[in-house]
Structures are given as C-alpha cells and as structure tokens.
Amino acid sequence: MVYVLNYGCRVNYYESEQIAAKFNGVVIVEKDIKKIKDAEPVFFVNSCAITSKAEKGSRYAVSIIKKYHPNAEINFVGCASKHQNKLNNAIIAKREKAFIKIQDGCADFCSYCIIPYIRSKICCRNVADVLAEIKAQPPVVKTIILSGINLTYYKHLNELSQNINKPFYFGSLEPNCITKDFLEVLHANSNFIPNFHVCLQSGCDETLSNMNRHYTTAEYLAKINLIRKYFPTARISTDIIVGFPTETDINFDRTLHFIKIINFDKVHIFPFSPRPKTAAFLMKPITNRIIKNRVDKLKSLLYNDNEKKK
C-alpha cells in the first residue's frame, strides 16, 4: 500500500493527491504512521521548504517512518528534497525504480482539471540534463520512470528515448504523444519496457468533447493499435473519469463498451470531483448515488474481464 504525507501549499497537496491516485494509495497525516500495519509499506513524503519549520517537519516525518517501519520504502519528494541532498540520496538508494521528472506544466485546459490554473507555465528539461540524472542514479536503481504533467509539450521524446541506456518507460502519455516515429525509436532501444499508460478519461466522443479533450475514440483506438503493432505484448493502462456532469447513461455505456474493445491491462477509476475555477465546476453535477453506481458497474466489468484472462 502507498501512503502519502503532505507538507506545504495547495499545489503540494494536489500533487500528493495525484501521487496517491496514481498508485491507488491514500493521503495520511503524521499521527497515522504508527497505526499502519503493512509489513512493507511505501511512503511518499511530499515536503516543503518555504520555512525552516516546514522543512524540519518534513525531515521529522522520515524519522518517524524509519522508527515504526524499518522495512518501508521512503520516497522523499517536493521542495525540501532539493535542499537536502544527503538525506534524499540516502532514501533514493533504497529504491529499485527512480521517478525522473522531465516536464512540468499544462495549458490544455481540460474542463475538469485545475492544473492549468495553478501550473500553466510549461517547463521542459533539456535532454543532456535528464541523461545526466539517469546516469547519476545509484546502482540499486534498476528502472527509470520518466514523468511530467503533460508530455505532449516535451518536444524531445525521440532524442531522449534514443539515448537512455537503462531500463525505462514513461509514467503517463497523452494520446497525441503516440506517433509512428516515437514508437520506432522506442522499439529500436532494447532498454525500453513496453508499459504504456495512455490517458483516455472517457470512451464516449460526446463526453470527450465536453471535457475539452483533443481526440476522438476512433483516434485513440488507432493509437493503441499502433502501439500493439510495434509491441504486441505491451502492457496498456489508462485513467477513466466516472460521472462527468454531462455524462448520461448512454454516454457511460459507450465508455464501458470502448473499454472492452481496448482490453486494457489496468484501468484507474476516478469518480468526478468538481474543482473550483474549472469549466466543469459550473456544470450541473450528477448525484453521488449515480456516480457510485457507475463506478461499481465499471469495477464489475473490469473484475469479470480480469477473471477471464486468468
């Protein structure tokens, strides 16, 4: 189980929620640490360095985790990690996977997403810097996971992918990242692990349009088919938002049908949550009861599909 401790501003808390959601984990507070019963839990400490007190609090959380969970994996992330290289390196050395951020920011303004309002500035690291960080990883790190807020904005995916000499894959890709040239580069690098998390959000064109997503289900299917052409055994996962305000029963049924067509290896389900400032925040919401029923229906579909694969 993954547990995330958050320190600092609202942006940090949002990132903590994203970390928890990505790994099906939970955001906790310090007093919860000693209550956890997992034999080998995984912790993310999302730290803050705006004041010395905040930085000290982040370090203290690490010491508490070590006290109560000596076998835990601890990932020290956030602002304070940049000011505590000694501590950070000691913790990174326990991981077999290293998450390396290559891009930040998004200006797509999907109608449900708050990120463009708090992190609209697009920042992309140059290839040399990323490769240097990969090279600097300790020997215990066996796999590199390249991440970003929206990798569509990273224009050097091909160049970067050509030059990585350690097993790697991308944490999440938008459908527009998937091109013939990109897949050919990945296929030519024997270090690439064919894990593809390709964001979908809905399997209904009408809902995708209302979400301000920039593709259709037909275009998405073509991208997945292209992946499987180059990587027949690729592991493909995605995210689905259930209960978007305009989503009707028919729209949702189309999503279920499309998910069956794609035959994902993993689907991360996110019940719709209204975010202030976003366009969807002003839309008439669907009742929690309907959302829960749809989530349950999707979970049942995924469970039955997984049983058939066994």
pLDDT digits (tens, 9 = 90+) for 159-209: 999 999 999 999 899 999 999 999 999 999 999 999 999 999 999 999 999
Which domain covers residue 75, as residue numbers? 1-95
Residue 46's DSSP bridge partners are 6, 77
Q: Indicate if the pLDDT at residue 145 is higher than 50.
A: yes
pLDDT band, residue 290 (cuts 50/70/90): very high
* 95, pLDDT greater than 80: no
Q: Does position 79 have pLDDT exceeding 70, yes or no?
A: no
Residue 50 has pLDDT above 50, yes or no: no
φ/ψ of 71, rounded to 5, equals: -95, 5
How close are the terminal C-alpha atoms of the chain, in Å? 23
What pLDDT is attached to residue 9?
A: 54
Q: Is 101 a residue whose pLDDT tops 90?
A: no
Is 156's pLDDT higher than 60?
yes
In a domain, 46, yes or no: yes
Asked if the structure places residue 218 within a domain, the reply is no
| 37 assigned to some structural domain | yes
Asked if residue 70 belongs to a domain, the reply is: yes
Statement: residue 34 has pLDDT above 50: yes
With 0-12 / 13-18 / 19 or more C-beta atoms within 10 angstroms meaning exposed / middle / buried, residue 132 is: exposed
Query: Percentage of the chain with pLDDT > 90?
Result: 64
| Dihedral of alpha carbons 149, 151, 152, 155, sign | positive
In a domain, 36, yes or no: yes
Instruction: Please report whether residue 240 resides in a domain.
Output: no
Instruction: Give me the count of residues in the chain.
Output: 310
Q: How confident is the model at residue 57 (pLDDT cuts 50, 70, 90)?
A: confident
Range of lowest pLDDT (101-105, 219-223, 264-268): 101-105
Question: What's the pLDDT band for 310 if we cut at 50, 70, 90?
Answer: low
Question: Number of folded domains in the chain?
Answer: 1
Average pLDDT, stretch 6-25? Answer: 71
Best CA proximity match to 207, nearest among 247, 242, 261: 247
Q: What is the pTM of this model?
A: 0.74
In this model, does residue 247 exceed pLDDT 90? yes
Residue 140's pLDDT band, with cuts at 50, 70 and 90, is: confident
What does the pLDDT look like over 121-135, one tens digit per residue? 899 999 999 999 999
Is 71 a member of any domain? yes
Position 266 pLDDT exceeds 60: yes
In-domain check, residue 7: yes
CA 157 to CA 134: how far, in whole Å? 15
Q: What's the confidence (pLDDT) of residue 166?
A: 96
Residue 8 pLDDT:
66
What pLDDT score was predicted for residue 39? 84
